[in-house]
Amino acid sequence: MALDAMTLARIQFAANISFHILFPTITMALAWLLLFFKLRWGDRDNTWGDLYRFWVKIFALSFALGVVSGVTMSFQFGTNWPGFMEAVGNIAGPLLAYEVLTAFFLEATFLAIMLFGRQRVSNRVHTLATALVCIGTTLSAFWILALNSWMHTPTGHVLRDGVAHAADWSAVIFNPSFPYRFAHMLVASGLTTAFLVAGLSAYRLARGSGAPDALLGLKVGVYLGAMLIPLQILLGDLHGLNTLAHQPAKIAAMEGIWTTQRNAPAILFALPDAQTRENHYEIAIPGLASLYLTHTWDGEVRGLDDFADHPPVAPVFWSFRIMVGVGLLMLILSWTAASVLLRGRALPRYLLLCLTATTFSGWVAVLAGWYTTEVGRQPWLVTQVLRTADAVASNVTATQIGVSLSLYLTLYAVLIVAFIAVLFSLARRADAPALPEPQRLNLREQPP
């Protein structure tokens, strides 16, 4: 495969958006969790306050990473995909503009009061600022998922000379896949945050922390995860049925079904082969796919051969399985841990270590889920409206994209390592006895 401008542009965009989504996924739900801590805290001094003080730092760091990578995204629509804006800018533009106007300013401004304003405003105003940050992050998700869902299932527009014009804005925003995608993503954010909170708290406890906020954090994370995971499985199923109705080729790729058939099997493992258009080493349960897709054992499921355009099968097939696999792992782990905690016992060490290992499991599931749905939309950028190949920048050279891609990749690699390292370091220092900061003790540097 030659690395032409289009391939590089796609790698760059995928790298950027994959890096970006990690952080809003945390901040969206963590904002609401912090509001919950804040409300439980009240104005007394208690463990909820310790929990708030610890997690607000991680929130601030995640938020900053989300902001800077989001600013990058807003430029890349123009630098990498000018064809996208020419064809569907009339739809995409206003939705993005509403995100900036209703969400970005709101969250950025009140974040300052939430983070640093506790001494400068009343407790009530501080709680209000925290609530406004929550609303801002969720509104942001609302607009961006409205646009993304429209790209999957476009409605409410008319095409004139290949350019989309909005005819009915409410049909554009509330397009068929939007409610499912929005709900699925919000709960995904909740799960990511639940396992992050549970994971870092478990890490502290495994290191011998006796701090009450480590135990409380563990309980909050485990219970939240245990409550959300069944909901997410239900929402995922509904989202899948919605996709079957609107993007059947994506479902065929997710299931790895090449030929249209009744009594279609649910494939647990296979190596899809795009050349011979069949699966190798298939392990499958007969009839199960028909059952959960059509809710009858002999329901007909359309195969990939039925579609003139269909996405590449292997990446969709595999990322879907990774997402489901992580989901099942989350179910087992959170229910096991919750059942121990509910009986009032401390978690055994092996469970603490398992939870620590799955601190970032939400990230894996979210990325795998997004790859499933985004690669599953190919070869379309906007289903039946615009092909990906027609949207790439024509006058940016492969060299230029190569330079910027290496720059971003280096930066993102450093930042992700630094982020994870700082999170664990904060967790360690939360239990370390407070040491005077060495540079403060340097008398030479004291102001006269």
Partner 1 sequence: MIPGDLAGADLLLPLLFAGLMAFAILVYVILDGYDLGVGILLPLAGSDLERDTMVSAIGPFWDANETWLVLGVGILLVAFPRAHGIILTHLYLPVALMLAGLILRGVAFDFRVKVEARRKRLWDHAFFVGSLLAALAQGTMLGYWITGFSATGFALGIGVALAGGYALLGAGWLILKSDGPLQERAVFWARLALWFTAAGIAAVSLATPLVNPRIFAKWFSLDTLFALLPIPLMSVALVALLAVFLARLAQDTRNCNQFGLQRWAWAPFAGSATLFALAFLGLAHSMFPYLVPDRLTLWEAASATESLWFMLWGILIAVPAVIGYSAYCYRVFRGKAEPLSYY
Interacting positions 60-99 with partner 1 (CB under 8 A): 60-61, 64-65, 67-72, 74-75, 77-79, 82, 85-86, 89-91, 93-94, 96-98
Q: Output 268 or 422, the one with its CB closest to partner 1.
A: 422
Q: Is residue 396 involved in binding partner 1 (CB under 8 A)?
A: yes
Residue 299 in tokens = 């329901």
Q: How far is CA 442 from the centre of its chain?
A: 44
Q: Output 320 or 412, the one with its CB closest to partner 1.
A: 412
Beta-bridge partner residues of 159: 164
CA atoms of 356 and 204, how far apart (whole Å): 9
Beta-bridge partner residues of 382: 386
Q: Output 50 or 255, the one with its CB closest to partner 1.
A: 50
Site for partner 1 in 374-393 (CB under 8 A): 393
Site for partner 1 in 210-269 (CB under 8 A): none
Is the CB of residue 300 less than 8 Å from the CB of residue 294? Answer: yes
Cβ 199 to partner 1 shortest distance, Å: 18
Q: Is residue 291 involved in binding partner 1 (CB under 8 A)?
A: no
- Can you give the length of the chain in residues? 448
Site for partner 1 in 402-431 (CB under 8 A): 403-404, 407-408, 411, 415, 418, 422, 425-426, 429
Site for partner 1 in 154-213 (CB under 8 A): 163, 165-166, 169
Binding mask 21-40 for partner 1 (x = CB under 8 A): --------------------
Q: Output 211 or 415, the one with its CB closest to partner 1.
A: 415
Site for partner 1 in 100-119 (CB under 8 A): 100-102, 104-106, 108-113, 115-119
Long-range contacts (CB closer than 8 Å, 24 or more residues apart) made by 311-315 = 311/249, 311/250, 311/253, 311/375, 311/376, 311/377, 311/378, 311/379, 312/253, 312/274, 312/375, 312/378, 313/253, 313/256, 313/272, 313/274, 314/271, 314/272, 314/274, 315/371, 315/375
User: Could you tell me the CA-to-CA distances from 417 to 199, 344, 411 in Å, in that order?
Assistant: 17, 36, 10
Torsion of CA 185, 191, 193, 199, to 10 degrees: -150
CA atoms of 35 and 114, how far apart (whole Å): 10
Stretch of 52-60, 246-254, 295-303, 338-346 lying at the interface with partner 1 (CB under 8 A): 52-60
Q: Output 323 or 393, the one with its CB closest to partner 1.
A: 393
Q: Output 140 or 243, the one with its CB closest to partner 1.
A: 140
Q: Output 58 or 235, the one with its CB closest to partner 1.
A: 58
CA atoms of 175 and 150, how far apart (whole Å): 6
